[in-house]
Structure 1
Amino acid sequence: MKRPWPFTRPQPLVLTGIYLAPQAGEAMHAVEFADAIGGLGLSGDRYCENRGFWKATDACQVTLIGSRDLVRSRRRAPENQRERLLHGHHRRNLVVGGLHAQMLENMRFRIGSAVFVYRKPRPPCGYLDRIEGTGLCRALGRQSGICIEVLESGRLTVGDTIELIGPR
């Protein structure tokens, strides 16, 4: 399916959040920058360190969600959970402003000095409700993030723009 976006986008896409958790089930922590390690993920994050919940069956090196997906999810979330989605409780590593994450399908892109490639959708599972509270899994829904892989190591910083390189 050919999309008119991304090549006609009027405003740049911007990395608005980076979140890491050192172990499965631990709280996500916002950081200002992270080092992406080729073939592994984000330094200091559970999946890069092989300590994620899904490490044996369905791990992603890095997960990404678009701010548009978060807006939709906040409308659908239980009232007591809405604010939490703004502070990493979606359990995605990267938040990109002005985008639905699925728009990156089949794309390679640069954030900071690191290069990534889209791999697959990453819908939430029941594990999210167990560690973050009932209702977040349903609120996020099926279109709530993607798995991406690190093709080239580098540093990414909140505020970096996303540069589309082309199809994978």
Structure 2
Amino acid sequence: MTEVEVLQLLVSPAHRLAGRPSDGPSPGPSDERVTRVEVRSGLGLVGDRYYARPAHRNAAVTIMAAENLPAGADLRHTRRNILLRGVDIDACVGATISLDCGTGPLVFAVKRPARPCAWMDVTMGPGAQRALRGRGGVRCIPLSDGVLTLGPATFRIVAGADAAS
């Protein structure tokens, strides 16, 4: 088990980074970060744009390591859902992980990398897409129901990628 910190949670009801990056983000709330989010097995984060969407059931939740973000950037810039400090989440592709904020463990299957796109150069600045290659976070499927909150949490690899270490 590893002690981590959930720094930010983002639940976005609308897909604001659609179309051409040169057109800029679509209008929406100035801050979609929340302090608490409900997670549903196989469906995602309640209230998020990808919740229960068939095309995104294998990637309904995205997790990113804070250590990979440039100074001044946050989840509003990356459109990832969960920002963790204290774990190399990008090394967990193929693993099943557990994250417990004190409300009980939530289990996620880490399916694939969340590759940065051209929008990163718009939201964070030129060169961000290239700088985040291989460090853009991961796309997951929630395997259990529960609640995530900001603050200290325990992280554990349940199966797969380095489960023995």
Same fold, judged at TM 0.5 (above)? yes
2:13 counterpart of 1:22: yes
Question: Which residue of structure 1 aligns with residue 90 of structure 2?
Answer: 102
TM-score normalised by L of structure 1:
0.72
Cα 1:116/1:28, change in 2 over 3 Å: farther
Q: Which structure shows the higher helix fraction?
A: 1
Q: Which runs of 5+ in 2 are unaligned?
A: 17-27, 161-165
Secondary structure, aligned partner of 1:68: helix
Counting only pairs closer than 5 Å after superposition, residues 6-155 of structure 1 correspond to structure 2 as 12-25=3-16, 26=28, 29-48=32-51, 50=53, 56=55, 60-70=59-69, 74=70, 82-83=71-72, 85-86=73-74, 88-112=76-100, 113=104, 114-129=106-121, 132=123, 134-135=125-126, 136-155=128-147
Q: Does 1:156 align with 2:148?
A: yes
1:137 is paired with a residue whose SS is helix
Mapped to 1, the partners of 2:55 and 2:107 lie a distance apart of 25
Match of 2:163 in 1: none
Quickly say closer, same or farther: Cα 1:57–1:127, change in 2 above 3 A: farther
Equivalent position of 1:77 in the other structure:
none
Q: Which runs of 5+ in 1 are unaligned?
A: 1-6, 75-81
Residues 28, 38 of structure 1: alpha-carbon distance in 2 compared, 3 angstrom cutoff: farther
TM-score, with length taken from structure 2? 0.73
Aligned-pair Cα RMSD in Å: 2.6
Rounded Cα–Cα distance in structure 1 between residues aligned with 2:56 and 2:37: 25
1:142 is displaced (CA, Å) by 2.9
Task: Quote the offset at 1:129 in angstroms.
Answer: 4.2
- Contact in 1 for aligned 2:77/2:124 (Cα 8 Å): no
Q: What is the SS of the residue equivalent to 1:148?
A: strand
Shift in alpha-carbon separation, 1:103–1:97, aligned structure 2, 3 A = same
Using the TM superposition, give the Cα deviation of residue 68 of structure 1 relative to its aligned residue in structure 2, in angstroms. Answer: 1.7
Measure how far apart 1:41 and its partner are: 0.7
> Relative to structure 1, is the Cα distance of residues 139 and 28 closer, same or farther in structure 2, using a 3 angstrom cutoff?
farther
AA at the equivalent of 1:94: I
Distance 1:24 1:87, change over 3 A: closer
Counterparts in 2 of 1:21 and 1:59: CA distance versus 1, 3 Å: farther
Q: How many residues get paired?
A: 143
